[in-house]
Amino acid sequence: MPDFFYQSPDDMIGKPITEIYENPKFTDVLETAQPVHGYIHDLNGHEIIASRVPIIQDGNIVGAVGKVVFKDVNELYALTKKVDSLRSELDYYKNTMLQKNSSALELLKGKNPLMVSLVDTALRVAKSGSTVLLRGESGTGKELFAQLLHSESFRRQGPFIKVNCAAVPENLLESELFGYDEGAFTGAIKGGKLGKFELADGGTLFLDEIGDMEMAMQAKLLRVIQEREIERLGSSKARKVDVRLVAATNRDLEAMIRDKQFREDLYYRLNVVTLTIPPLRDRMDDVEGLIDTFLKKFNHQFAKSVTEISSESKSVLMKHLWPGNIRELENVIERAFNMLDGSEIQLKHLPNYLQILAGHETRPFVGGALENILNRVEKEALIYALNNANGNKVQAAKTLGLSRAGLYKKLIKHGLH
Ligand SMILES: Nc1ncnc2c1ncn2[C@@H]1O[C@H](COP(=O)(O)OP(=O)(O)OP(=O)(O)O)[C@@H](O)[C@H]1O
């Protein structure tokens, strides 16, 4: 315990506080009667975190108490770092738990031959430690594959850290990935901050939506992949990191390279092993199994016992093209759980855009001229995207990869405006 006052208690008792140490702040509390918690304060050369609280008797201030919460501000910074790292770990375990205790492997095992061989390849690749690029439409299960690559690797005891490159503002991504040293920039937390690369040391770093990373950041990432070391912002010290990289995207990276939006050299570094996850419409033989998985998951989550799904509903689910893939199917089942009161999912528990399929004899892509089929599919995708975005056209346009004007044109064409 540091000596804050450089005097013995006997020398201090009974003296005015202003004679013990220079602290006009402490006397504030006697005047304002307002408690202040957790402020950083220089106490005779020690940077502490303290609280001050008034003592009030019969409505009058009779004194005040000051309490040192952290005797050295660096203790708090160390704690913040620890919390940061624990939070990341917690996210990973929470996610795993949310899969209702099923491992990624259990979930990904399906009937579809394409998937069976993909999971087989993933299991082999998991052990190698090579960088993996996961490709596939949104909602196909790329993150689940990333978890599989981690949990089946020799790094499974290490951390699994995810960064969504599209969700972190461009100017923050660098410090998010590489961290920073104290004083790196205005507003930087004292004591610095660990980046995700360092947090993932000994484990796996999952870079989701890598196609949304800015070119300048891509160059920095490339350097880290090549050197296997990072430099925190504001530091010139290189730090070795032992991280297995898994990246994912639903973007057309090859087209982006042609448009000079994605670096070719980074592409080759990431593309050591590529796993392309098929869209759900190409593996309809897995739909039934997935429905069962989600029934179990939501029975558990909602404490219900839904055991049936009407044949009409089932046939609609087998007919739909699932532009939102497994995420869409999962949402549809979750929505049904919110609607039903009995133990059977019926047509009325499904969203409107699915109910209208009940009258159709076939899937939209069966029968007729290709142009008509594409039109039907397009219309369904529009309805789905709008529905999923709660009618928000800007968001729906973004999901569909259309400009706003482009979306309006298509809505008019299908009479959906
Ligand atoms: N085989 C599966 N069994 C059960 N749930 C699955 C399966 N595959 C995916 N899911 C679930 O579907 C949802 C979407 O999966 P995930 O987030 O892995 O997709 P994604 O391809 O990474 O999507 P995005 O590109 O939008 O990030 C998640 O809730 C996931 O748990």
Query: pLDDT at position 23, please?
Result: 65
- Does residue 138 have its Cβ closer than 6 Å to ligand 1? yes
| Model confidence at 361: pLDDT above 70 | no
Query: pLDDT at position 100, please?
Result: 46
DSSP-assigned letters across all residues of 278-291: PPGGG-GGGHHHHH
CA–CA dist 411, 31 (Å, integer) = 66
Query: pLDDT at position 37, please?
Result: 82
d(CA 161, ligand 1 centre) in Å: 17
- Does residue 327 have its Cβ closer than 6 Å to ligand 1? yes
Query: pLDDT at position 184, please?
Result: 66
Q: Could you give the count of Cα atoms lying within 13 Å of 197 in the half-sphere of its Cβ?
A: 24
Nearest CA to ligand 1 atom 24: 138
Atom of ligand 1 nearest to the CA of 146: 18
Query: pLDDT at position 375, please?
Result: 86
| Top mutation candidate among 135, 138, 144, 151 for ligand 1, by most atoms within 8 Å of CB | 144
Map 197-241 to HEC letters: HHHCCCCEEEEECHHHCCHHHHHHHHHHHHHCEEECECCCCEEEC
| Model confidence at 1: pLDDT above 50 | no
Instruction: Over range 246-270, report the average pLDDT.
Output: 95
Query: pLDDT at position 137, please?
Result: 92
| Model confidence at 101: pLDDT above 60 | no
Q: Which residue has the higher pLDDT, 93 or 381?
A: 381
Q: Which of 18-22, 137-141, 207-211, 348-352 has the lowest mean pLDDT?
A: 18-22
- Does residue 144 have its Cβ closer than 6 Å to ligand 1? yes
Query: pLDDT at position 24, please?
Result: 60
Nearest CA to ligand 1 atom 12: 327
What would you report as the CA-atom Rg of the chain, rounded to the nearest whole angstrom? 29
Atom of ligand 1 nearest to the CA of 108: 1
Instruction: Over range 246-261, report the average pLDDT.
Output: 95
Nearest CA to ligand 1 atom 26: 138
| Model confidence at 208: pLDDT above 60 | yes
Which range of 11-25, 353-367, 381-395 scores highest in mean pLDDT? It is: 381-395
Q: Which residue has the higher pLDDT, 273 or 87?
A: 273
Average pLDDT, the chain: 87
CB atoms within 10 A of CB 71: 16
Query: pLDDT at position 77, please?
Result: 76
Instruction: Over range 28-57, report the average pLDDT.
Output: 82
Q: Which residue has the higher pLDDT, 99 or 156?
A: 156
Atom of ligand 1 nearest to the CA of 249: 25
Token digits of residue 388: 């999923």
Instruction: Over range 201-209, report the average pLDDT.
Output: 96
- Does residue 324 have its Cβ closer than 6 Å to ligand 1? no
How far out from the chain centre does Cα 100 lie? 18
pLDDT digits (tens, 9 = 90+) for 72-95: 877 777 787 778 778 877 777 766
Token digits of residue 71: 């005797």
Q: Which residue has the higher pLDDT, 396 or 73?
A: 396
Instruction: Over range 57-85, report the average pLDDT.
Output: 82
d(CA 150, ligand 1 centre) in Å: 16
Q: Helices marked H in 53-132 — which ranges?
A: 73-98, 104-108, 113-128
Query: pLDDT at position 400, please?
Result: 92
Query: pLDDT at position 40, please?
Result: 78
Under the banding of pLDDT at 50, 70 and 90, the label for residue 328 is very high
CA–CA dist 20, 292 (Å, integer) = 72
pLDDT digits (tens, 9 = 90+) for 308-325: 999 999 999 998 889 889
- Does residue 108 have its Cβ closer than 6 Å to ligand 1? yes
- Please give the share of the chain, as a percent, with pLDDT higher than 70: 92
In the chain the domains, ranked by start, together with CATH numbers, are 9-71 (no CATH), 75-278 (3.40.50.300), 285-353 (1.10.8.60), 364-417 (1.10.10.60)
d(CA 173, ligand 1 centre) in Å: 24
Under the banding of pLDDT at 50, 70 and 90, the label for residue 365 is low
- Does residue 250 have its Cβ closer than 6 Å to ligand 1? yes
Instruction: Over range 45-61, report the average pLDDT.
Output: 85
- Does residue 140 have its Cβ closer than 6 Å to ligand 1? yes
Instruction: Over range 182-202, report the average pLDDT.
Output: 80
- Does residue 175 have its Cβ closer than 6 Å to ligand 1? no
Q: Which residue has the higher pLDDT, 93 or 281?
A: 281
| Top mutation candidate among 106, 291, 326, 395 for ligand 1, by most atoms within 8 Å of CB | 326
d(CA 126, ligand 1 centre) in Å: 19
